[in-house]
Amino acid sequence: MMEVIWYVSYFLVLIGLSGYGFHRLMIWFLYWKHSRQRPEPKKHFDELPVVTVQLPMFNEMHVVKRLLKAVSEIDYPKEKMQIQVLDDSTDETIEICKEEVAKLVERGYDAEYIHRTDRTGFKAGALEEGTKVAKGEYLFILDADFVPNPDVLQKTIHYFSDDNIGMIQTRWGHINREYNLLTRVQAMFLDGHLELEQTARNRSGRFFTFNGTAGMWRKSCIIDAGGWDHDTLTEDMDLSYRAQLKGWKFIFLNDVETPAELPVDMDGFKNQQHRWTKGSIQVCKKILVPIWRSDAPLVCKLEATAHLTSNFAYLLLFLLLFLISPKQYFRPDWAWLQTHPWAEHLLNVPIFFFGSVSVALFYAASQKALRPGTWKKDILYLPLLLALGIGMSINNAKAVLEAVFGHETGFVRTPKYGIDKDEEKKSNSWKSSRYKGIKSLMPFFELAFGIFFLVIVVENLITMNWVTAILLMPFPVGFFYTSLSSIARVMPELFASKEQKN
């Protein structure tokens, strides 16, 4: 009986993962079908409206000056642009912000500094406070690690000439894409989401969501949707669904790029992924039932369900970690399996295609669309992208479970270090910064899984099960990459602290 349970559970988990892989193929199809249908403004404003640029931040001393410099260079009339620095900082960022805002005011900008000593609601709370006193009907939101291009407002504002438009999202670019291996893989990961998913959802008439930054909201849309709630860690996704359920329309502009800095260390990346994963499941619990009760078309409800539940795939992947080895050793003694060994492949082949090949095709398509000159070189990193997804399974499965069982955690910011494009090959100053991701015992669990799967791969190589060994190779690679990258950063600090004690 145990053999049957292990065997059936193994395939059920793989079928579940394949379902999310099939969804990626559907997204690719919708992208292929609708990508050329670029939206155009209903008309151009005769007189440009007032825009409030909101800059929420918390302890961002490395990037504040770069951000405010870029904002001051935006091609928009000074008298029509208000700059709000929404700062919850507790360190030197406070003084830097005050100095830089004062300089902007001296240069004739309508800039104000709003500092909160109570971080209630975290980023959502800061945006809520800023929106109350914002002069503009249109709110352009930028996280501290973004560097907007000068023409970003001119390329977006005119879409609001349609009174039904509530939000415009631009596509993220990557300032430090080639800084290290992690940033290269992250860039591919985000390109897939922003270029394929957001374009496909928006232009096919499905729901799509604000990405938390590099987008512009109509203030009346925010108010009509109920404002910024802070009962989830992804207030952007929450507000987006509430607004669209109210009938507001959104636009995604994939050809308007707003560059940003990617996390350069594994701990920062894990914190970011944990927050995004947990927040999406929190929104799923909050919004999915209202979506199905709404009058939205069935295709929109189905796509929203796939979107909001997609991170449950990490929970399935985590379960798979415990099923792979038993499945190899404990197979049901079914006669038809013995007489028809090929029958198992009828399940294995489509599962492998939808679970792995579809994911690779998805990210390859995004690179071909965005980087036509280099996409063939970029896709060489696809095996590592797949391995990184496996390596992140423990971190992200933990986030899913925390959301499911209502375990409350604070908003953990992603450290930014001000790594500019011109310095990306030589700047290592971030390693001495006190802004670091939260440390935990997670890397040691990941290391244990890496060793476990390495033993399984070696065993299959010894027994000449080449196909199985190759298919399982991403597991030890992924876990060694996520664990050792974190441990390598912790060890020098441990040795340094021991030397100081001695």
What number of other Cβ atoms are within 10 A of residue 226's Cβ? 12
What SS3 string covers 221-244?
HHHHCCCCCCCCCCHHHHHHHHHH
SS3 24: helix
Strands (E), 192-316: 215-218, 249-260
Let me know if 91 is a catalytic residue: no
Residue 497: which residues within 8 A CB-CB, separation 6 or more? none
Between CA 191 and CA 359 the distance in angstroms is 13
What number of other Cβ atoms are within 10 A of residue 1's Cβ? 6
**β partners of residue 174:** 260
For the four alpha carbons of 188, 399, 489 and 212, in that order, the dihedral sign comes to: positive
What DSSP designation does 421 have?
G
Nearest to 264 by CA among 175, 360, 195, 377: 175
Residue 199: which residues within 8 A CB-CB, separation 6 or more? 31, 34, 35, 252, 254
Q: Contact 139/236 with Cβ under 8 angstroms?
A: no
Residue 203 tokens read as 């232009």
Nearest to 54 by CA among 156, 152, 123: 123
Nearest to 224 by CA among 202, 248, 249: 248
What DSSP designation does 463 have?
T
Q: Where are the alpha helices (DSSP H) in 112-218?
A: 122-132, 152-156, 181-191, 198-203
Residue 148: which residues within 8 A CB-CB, separation 6 or more? 70, 71, 74, 142, 214, 258, 259
Catalytic residue among 87, 110, 143, 236: 236
Let me know if 88 is a catalytic residue: yes
Catalytic residue among 88, 145, 191, 238: 88
Between CA 77 and CA 466 the distance in angstroms is 64
What DSSP designation does 164 have?
T
With residues binned 3-state (H G I as helix, E B as strand, rest as coil), the percentages for the chain, rounded to 5, are 60, 10, 30
46: Cα separation from own chain's centroid: 37
Phi, psi at 364, each rounded to 5°: -65, -40
- Give the active site residues: 88, 236
